[in-house]
Structure 1
Amino acid sequence: MSIWNELLAPKAQSLNTTQLAAGFVAPLLDQGLIALDGEESAHFLHGQLTNDVEHLGADEARLAGYCSPKGRMLASFLMWRSGSTLLLQLPREIQAAVQKRLSMFVLRAKTKLSDASEMPEHEVVIGLGGGLAEAVLQTWFEPLPARPYSKISHPLGTVIRLADALGAARYQWLMSKDVARTVLPELAERLTVGDAAAWHLSAIHAGVPQIGKATQEQFVPQMVNFELLGGVNFKKGCYPGQEIVARSQYLGKLKRRTTLVTIQDPAAVAGAEVFATADPEQPCGMIVNTAPNGRGGIDALVEMKLAAIEAASVRLGSAEGTALEFHPMPYVLDALDV
């Protein structure tokens, strides 16, 4: 992403939700890509991930989780096809370890895993969103992906529509450096240029969690609303942790969800525990993702007990810590009590 730093980094700034809603462009600087090539790639991944890989269409993307045998998430992916290649997007900080772990289970399957982050067609990855983003993208693409988690492949790159945020569509555009040199200056003229944290803030307001190093093996997928986002297929075959994930769904063993909050403490980080004032002796949940909100604090997705969400009296670090300000999620947290 050195081309981003060369052309737009001086213009990049921390954004607030009002700026995101109007229209923005931001880099995805901390995301990596794993590529799987080979005729049995889909079959192999289908047996490893929480979602259906074998029926993943060429014009769609899907969320998927990778779990330990205990059903706890080791990684969350955005996955899609590029020709005969399957691609998994995840934080760079855990990519090498996750790729190595997946490779251990390939055995005789006809597939090969590799780091696709620096491939020419993925050299630059940007995110766009807000009310102006669709019209700006139509400068180069017509039509655009019509619904969340659909994609188009184009000579100028791959465009994936992701979950909407703040009342507008969000898109991810993967491109070559040559394309970036042409389009980034125009994007900067027509949209507010955000920093890497601005993209994370948009994902938080879309209610879409991402598992990073600080939160690996902390959550069953339902704790972070993953099945509400289409990231779990309960009809597919087995995968590591499948029995526990299914039991959580159908037997109601868990009573936890992830919700959207503001914390007026810029030091709040993923993996930090939160405490309900009604039960101060033990944590009621954990921060999943955070991003500066452009107003002096951070916005976050926080996993916690449903009772704590309902009471809305939760604090950071201890029952005497900074209070969490609760906001509505962009989708319904159903009464499954998982």
Structure 2
Amino acid sequence: MNEIWKNFIRSQGAVLDGERVQHFGQPAEERRAAAQSNVLADLSDQALICARGADTQNFLNGQLSNNMRRLDATHSQLAAWCSPKGRMLVIFRLFRRGDDTLMQLPASLLETILKRLKMFVLRAKVTLEDAGAELVSFGISGPDAERLLREAAGFVPGEISGCETRDEITVIKIAGPHPRFEIIAPTDSAMKLRTTLRSTTTPVAAPVWNWLDIMAGIPGVHPETSEAFVPQMANLEIVGGVDFKKGCYPGQEIVARMQYLGKLKQRMYRARFEGDALPRPGDSIFAPDFPGQSAGTVVAAQPAPDKGFDLLAVIQISSAENGELHLGSETGPKLSLQTLPYSVTPATRAE
């Protein structure tokens, strides 16, 4: 988080722990607001890598799970960067700003991923840089989010994953239980737009926005789960993050084999549990049909607006179908599976 934005967001009531905004003084009310009304979210837990240069498209297309040749100024897309074994190192949201390609990822992974990705540039005419000093991100969600943002910014994209940039302000429409938009802009422009929106919304921090991701079934990769999942385990192809016809990238053969041979045994589900402690990415899930070993892994978890915790977890399909799941141990708190906004089925031969 750059210092100008840090001081600004603190002046707006943000409570920080280091570089991370925890809440805006009333965390329980902020969570309830996200479920029912209009919220304005600080997204300082997200980082941006800027890729630029004549070979950017070809370079990224040879590294990521989605087709970079389909990325343009009018839509964003998710994509995974995988290990040679097909395991996701990170999930990016990619979008264009002029001639630049921006890659959004958790700030906790920025240093590791940027350093590793630069190793593969070799002679390609591509530069990769942390864009955090230039650009900041925040989000708006709620029943009136589209109207409020249109009145304040003058435009909004019309479709999920749609992207539009005007006057250096980029707006991306994100899936969610309510209309939801992410705004990426230079610091000065972001401060002006956020100030305009502040009077008609409840300010919230990234954990509340991450809860909205959980409700939308949007997966993420964190340091604790880097290299834990192939894309299909986290439903990435369902939410548009994999192109099976685009050609080679690290791990592509394993990802394609998983799809075309139908060997997938785990999927990502949404669940709830009534416990006392927030689960962490990487925490284990147990089930009777896998005695003595883990039957699943937490992808992300956040406090629910009313009580308990909502989470996404990659779980053995057989265990999920049997319905008895426990967090942390074989006798840990029971998980209750919840519906996702899309169908979760075993990966089968692609059409």
SS of residue paired to 1:96: helix
Residue 312 (structure 1) shift: 2.0
My pick for the range that moved more, 70-79 or 305-314, is 305-314
Q: Does residue 266 of structure 2 align to residue 256 of structure 1?
A: yes
Q: What is the aligned partner in structure 1 of residue 125 from structure 2? A: 110
Q: Does residue 15 of structure 2 align to residue 5 of structure 1?
A: no
Match for residue 269 of structure 1 among 263, 277, 280: 280
Match for residue 102 of structure 2 among 87, 107, 120: 87
Q: Does residue 325 of structure 2 align to residue 314 of structure 1?
A: yes
Task: Report the TM-score, using the length of structure 2 for normalisation.
Answer: 0.90
Q: What is the aligned partner in structure 1 of residue 156 from structure 2? A: 144
State how far apart, in whole Å, the 2-side matches of 1:312 and 1:57 are: 42
Alignment of 1:1-338 (within 5 A): 1-2=5-6, 3-9=8-14, 11=24, 13-14=26-27, 15-16=30-31, 19-119=34-134, 122=135, 124-155=136-167, 157-163=169-175, 165-166=176-177, 168-265=178-275, 266-336=277-347
Residue 247 (structure 1) shift: 0.2
On the 8 A contact 2:48/2:131 being kept in 1, the answer is: yes
On the 8 A contact 1:63/1:230 being kept in 2, the answer is: yes
On the 8 A contact 1:21/1:129 being kept in 2, the answer is: no
State how far apart, in whole Å, the 2-side matches of 1:158 and 1:21 are: 26
State how far apart, in whole Å, the 1-side matches of 2:25 and 2:189 are: 19
SS of residue paired to 2:320: helix
On the 8 A contact 1:8/1:184 being kept in 2, the answer is: no
Identity score, percent:
37
My pick for the range that moved more, 258-267 or 218-227, is 258-267
Structure 1 residues 182 and 35, CA gap change in structure 2 (3 angstroms): closer
Q: What runs of 5+ residues in structure 2 fail to find an aligned partner?
A: 16-23
Residue 21 (structure 1) shift: 4.0
Equivalent AA in structure 2 for residue 233 of structure 1: D
My pick for the range that moved more, 201-210 or 305-314, is 305-314
Residue 248 (structure 1) shift: 0.2
On the 8 A contact 2:150/2:156 being kept in 1, the answer is: yes
State how far apart, in whole Å, the 1-side matches of 2:42 and 2:322 are: 37
Q: What runs of 5+ residues in structure 1 fail to find an aligned partner?
A: none
Equivalent AA in structure 2 for residue 307 of structure 1: S
Residue 291 (structure 1) shift: 1.4
Equivalent AA in structure 2 for residue 46 of structure 1: N
On the 8 A contact 2:77/2:93 being kept in 1, the answer is: yes
State how far apart, in whole Å, the 2-side matches of 1:181 and 1:107 are: 38
Q: What is the aligned partner in structure 1 of residue 19 from structure 2? A: none
State how far apart, in whole Å, the 2-side matches of 1:211 and 1:181 are: 29
Does 1 or 2 have the higher relative contact order (CA < 8 Å, sep 6+)?
A: 1
Structure 1 residues 229 and 146, CA gap change in structure 2 (3 angstroms): same
Equivalent AA in structure 2 for residue 86 of structure 1: T
On the 8 A contact 1:273/1:284 being kept in 2, the answer is: yes
> What CA deviation, in whole Å up to 9, does each residue of 1:250-303 have, x standing for no partner?
111221110111122323111000001343321111000111223343211100
Q: How many residues align?
A: 333
Equivalent AA in structure 2 for residue 32 of structure 1: A
On the 8 A contact 1:94/1:213 being kept in 2, the answer is: yes
Structure 1 residues 262 and 17, CA gap change in structure 2 (3 angstroms): farther
State how far apart, in whole Å, the 1-side matches of 2:323 and 2:348 are: 17
RMSD over equivalenced CA pairs, Å: 1.7
Task: Report the TM-score, using the length of structure 1 for normalisation.
Answer: 0.94
Equivalent AA in structure 1 for residue 37 of structure 2: A
